[in-house]
């Protein structure tokens, strides 16, 4: 690979990461975290049994879904994310907790090897575009014998299907970028982690969502608050027919996942284990 090729690749990666920052800063992801998935971080923390004094890194932490309960358990926590706007919200909302809010790329974490006792992520690291690079970094900064816990949406579950639906309405990603819901596939994660881990467990579970009165309410909520959906709609701003198609596709998907009471069940997988 020539120096020009390397430079071009680095430039493309930097541009991609900037798009990700802009996407997650758009809308109000803090509302989604607070109103739809506030329990996910607690589940990860309780599964790992985080105790006072442990050094914990929350990767792609957003506003602190897992960082906050880890700090409340007495851990010394670093919440890292590519998007400073989300970290600023977390810092403002939780000023009394022992959390260091740090801008960092999940694919190039700025800490030495074996810096942490525990590494966690709740539906965060799955959105890093290059899965192997992110997995390698998660394990690199974790000490031997240290524990990790990752909550990720599954390809078959509602959010996995949401991304598959929106794929038809957005430009294709750059070469080498992998779909986020693959982190919810057991075989994929086992391949990423390889023989560097032990006591690996995959637990499938659900988030029960009952805040939307009808399928159209889900669509408008995610259009206004969830970065990937908001960006998809912005890309269709001058295409009313395609916008209507996306409306119908999202309404149909939401209706498919609603039960008779109006509740939706969003499947995720909680992967946990230890670094060898």
Output the domain CATH number for residue 157. 3.40.50.150
In a domain, 30, yes or no: yes
Please give the model's pTM, rounded to 2 decimal places.
Answer: 0.95
Q: State which residues form the domain around 269.
A: 10-275
pLDDT tens, 109-154? 999 999 999 999 999 999 999 999 999 999 999 999 999 999 999 9
In a domain, 138, yes or no: yes
pLDDT tens, 46-78? 999 999 999 999 999 999 999 999 999 999 999
Alpha helix positions (H), 63-157: 67-72, 84-93, 131-140
Check if the beta carbon of residue 255 is closer than 8 Å to that of residue 249: no
pLDDT tens, 27-49? 999 999 999 999 999 999 999 99
In a domain, 2, yes or no: no
In a domain, 5, yes or no: no
In a domain, 156, yes or no: yes
In a domain, 3, yes or no: no
The proportion of the chain whose per-residue pLDDT surpasses 70, expressed as a percent, equals 96
Give the chain's domain count.
1
Phi, psi values for residue 145, rounded to 5°: 85, -10
Select from 270, 119, 68 the least CA-distant residue to 189: 270
Distance, in Å, from the CA atom of 111 to the CA atom of 141, rounded to the nearest integer, reads 7
Q: Are strands 99-103 and 197-209 parallel, antiparallel or unpaired?
A: unpaired
pLDDT tens, 191-235? 999 999 999 999 999 999 999 999 999 999 999 999 999 999 999
Check if the beta carbon of residue 200 is closer than 8 Å to that of residue 6: no
In a domain, 155, yes or no: yes
SS3 96: coil
In a domain, 4, yes or no: no
């Amino acid at each position: 690979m020539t120096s020009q090729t390397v430079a071009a690749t680095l430039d493309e990666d930097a541009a991609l990461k900037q798009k990700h920052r802009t996407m997650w800063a758009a809308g109000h992801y803090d509302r989604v975290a607070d109103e739809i998935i506030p329990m996910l971080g607690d589940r990860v923390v309780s599964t790992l049994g985080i105790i006072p004094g442990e050094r914990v890194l929350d990767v792609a932490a957003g506003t602190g879904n897992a960082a906050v309960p880890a700090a409340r358990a007495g851990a010394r926590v670093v919440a890292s994310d590519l998007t400073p706007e989300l970290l600023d919200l977390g810092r403002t909302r939780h000023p009394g907790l022992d959390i260091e809010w740090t801008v960092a790329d999940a694919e190039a974490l700025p800490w030495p090897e074996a810096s942490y006792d525990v590494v966690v992520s709740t539906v965060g690291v799955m959105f890093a575009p290059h899965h192997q690079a992110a997995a390698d970094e998660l394990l690199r900064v974790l000490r031997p014998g240290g524990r990790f816990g990752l909550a990720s949406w599954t390809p078959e579950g509602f959010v996995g299907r949401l991304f598959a639906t929106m794929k038809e309405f957005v430009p294709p990603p750059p070469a080498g970028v992998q779909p986020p819901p693959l982190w919810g596939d057991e075989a994929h994660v086992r391949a990423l982690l390889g023989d560097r881990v032990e006591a690996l467990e995959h637990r499938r579970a659900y988030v029960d969502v009952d805040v939307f009165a009808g399928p159209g309410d889900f669509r408008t909520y995610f259009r206004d608050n969830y970065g990937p959906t908001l960006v998809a709609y912005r890309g269709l701003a001058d295409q009313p027919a395609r916008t209507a198609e996306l409306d119908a596709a999202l309404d149909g998907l939401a209706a498919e996942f609603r039960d008779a009471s109006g509740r939706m069940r969003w499947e995720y997988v909680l992967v946990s284990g230890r670094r060898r």
